[in-house]
């Protein structure tokens, strides 16, 4: 991970060095994913069982995890593990419950009432990756707000382990969130199952959760399919940007950078510092701490795609950060809340030396499902609203329609939509019909 002096770089060099690793989506990946989706649509459970045997090397008799087995996983949890999960769940619930939408009603004119009310999405699906480590935190980030939103149907899919079962920590966390529809299926085929439905897996209206390039590609394809499902947000590799001033703690900064680098070889971490000494000290600490990590080989690959820049001041750092639009942004600077008010683009922001990104990943209360790959310029992280939809209503009296009728008729005529004009005129001037 090299250090660059920002002011000494050309604009093209700055742009090149801030580029994220290329997306792993390719023509072959798109084509093979399309084949998987089509196969699951056509053959349902049979296709899922065959793919599980082929890709996960597990032969299953059935896909659904019996609800008693989910509850059993919770009862068998080691007490300190359950305590940690419950603390995280409770904090996530406190924060997300404050996001409950209120009913909005306003009389726009005499005789015209417009109002808006929230409704839960009827059927939601959660994808929880398997891979090298279980992700109970993601179950919490999806399960808790969906519980508050009161989604009637909640479906969770996760790939089976070598023994044919889903990781017991994932099952236990599902039980903590009141989820009892859990299925042993992973990859693009799980996304297909939730998007289109099979004999066992219910079709859902919206799919949530992270995954590898296959899962990401499958989510994008089902979102554009006429019979598919909506998705939470565009996704890419995990990332963090740290802004550090001359007072920053190099060990803290290095640990924060590594906490994202260990996610995967395609993750990216960026350091912006107003002090060349701090930048060098951070990199020295990063190399020292890297050797302590069990996932150091993965982190080292991510660091090869990562950069450190020395900038002239915090204002420059904030400008660079806004252009990059990081998933996670950490401000290890003096007066972080003052500078935070100037920020425009970030998934989630961590203020001050004692706010590691890990806190948001697990237990502070905010949601860790966030826009990556620059999508924070236009997308928000998951919130309670992500699990709901807003419906608008209007009620007009005859007097209300009479007040806006001429304007509606004029605008309809300007657009050449005669039936729109007629829908007003037959009510106000029935003698003309």
Q: Which residues carry out catalysis?
A: 327-328
Q: What span, in angstroms and rounded, lies between the C-alpha atoms of 309 and 4? A: 5
Q: Chain centroid to CA 207: how far?
A: 10
| Residues listed for the chain | 433
Q: What span, in angstroms and rounded, lies between the C-alpha atoms of 161 and 186? A: 10
Q: List, as one string, the DSSP characters of 138-170.
A: HHHHHHHHHHHHT-SEEEEEE---TTSS--HHH
Q: What span, in angstroms and rounded, lies between the C-alpha atoms of 293 and 287? A: 11
Q: What span, in angstroms and rounded, lies between the C-alpha atoms of 351 and 332? A: 7
Q: Which residues, listed in sequence order, are joined to residue 126 by a DSSP beta bridge? A: 156, 208
Structure tokens at 397: 């009296």
Q: List, as one string, the DSSP characters of 262-292.
A: TT-TT-EEEEEES-HHHHHHHHHHHHHHHTT
The residue assigned the tokens 């002239």 is: 312
**Please, what is the Cα angle at 47 between 46 and 49, to 5 degrees?**
65
Sheet holding 104-109, edge to edge: 104-109, 112-120, 388-396
């Amino acid at each position: 991970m090299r250090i660059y002096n920002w002011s000494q770089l050309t604009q093209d060099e700055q742009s090149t060095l801030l580029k994220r690793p290329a997306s792993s989506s390719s023509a072959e990946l798109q084509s093979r994913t399309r084949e998987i989706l089509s196969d699951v649509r056509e053959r349902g459970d049979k296709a899922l069982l065959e793919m599980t045997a082929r890709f996960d090397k597990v032969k299953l008799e059935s896909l659904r995890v019996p609800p008693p087995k989910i509850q059993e996983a919770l009862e068998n949890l080691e007490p300190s593990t359950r305590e940690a999960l419950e603390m995280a769940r409770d904090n996530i619930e406190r924060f997300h419950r404050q996001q409950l939408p209120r009913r909005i009603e306003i009389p726009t004119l005499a005789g015209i009432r417009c109002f808006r009310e929230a409704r839960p999405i009827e059927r939601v699906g959660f994808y929880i990756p398997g891979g090298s480590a279980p992700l109970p935190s993601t179950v919490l980030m999806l399960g808790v707000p969906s519980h508050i939103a009161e989604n009637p149907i909640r479906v969770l899919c996760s790939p089976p382990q070598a023994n044919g079962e889903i990781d017991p920590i994932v099952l236990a966390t599902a039980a903590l969130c009141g989820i009892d529809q859990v299925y042993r299926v992973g990859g693009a085929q799980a996304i297909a199952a939730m998007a289109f439905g099979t004999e066992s897996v219910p079709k859902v209206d919206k799919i949530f959760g992270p995954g590898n390039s296959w899962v990401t590609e499958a989510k994008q394809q089902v979102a554009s399919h006429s019979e598919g499902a909506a998705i939470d947000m565009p996704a890419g590799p995990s990332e963090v940007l740290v802004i550090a001033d001359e007072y920053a703690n190099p060990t803290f900064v290095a640990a924060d950078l590594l906490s994202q680098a260990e996610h995967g070889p395609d993750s990216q971490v960026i350091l912006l510092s107003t002090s060349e000494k701090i930048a060098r000290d951070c990199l020295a600490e990063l190399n020292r701490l890297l050797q302590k990590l069990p996932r150091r080989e993965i982190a080292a690959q991510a660091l090869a795609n990562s950069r450190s820049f020395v900038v002239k001041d915090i204002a420059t750092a904030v400008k660079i950060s806004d252009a990059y639009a990081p998933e996670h942004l950490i401000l290890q600077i003096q007066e972080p809340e003052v500078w935070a008010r100037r920020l425009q683009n970030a998934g989630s922001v961590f203020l001050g030396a004692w706010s590691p990104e890990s806190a948001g990943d697990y237990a502070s209360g905010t949601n860790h499902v966030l826009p990556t790959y620059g999508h924070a310029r236009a997308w928000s992280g998951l919130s309670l609203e992500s699990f709901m939809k807003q419906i608008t209503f209007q009620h007009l009296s005859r007097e209300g329609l009479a007040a806006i009728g001429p304007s509606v008729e004029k605008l309809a005529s300007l657009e050449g939509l005669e039936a729109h004009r007629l829908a007003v005129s037959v009510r106000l001037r029935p003698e003309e019909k």
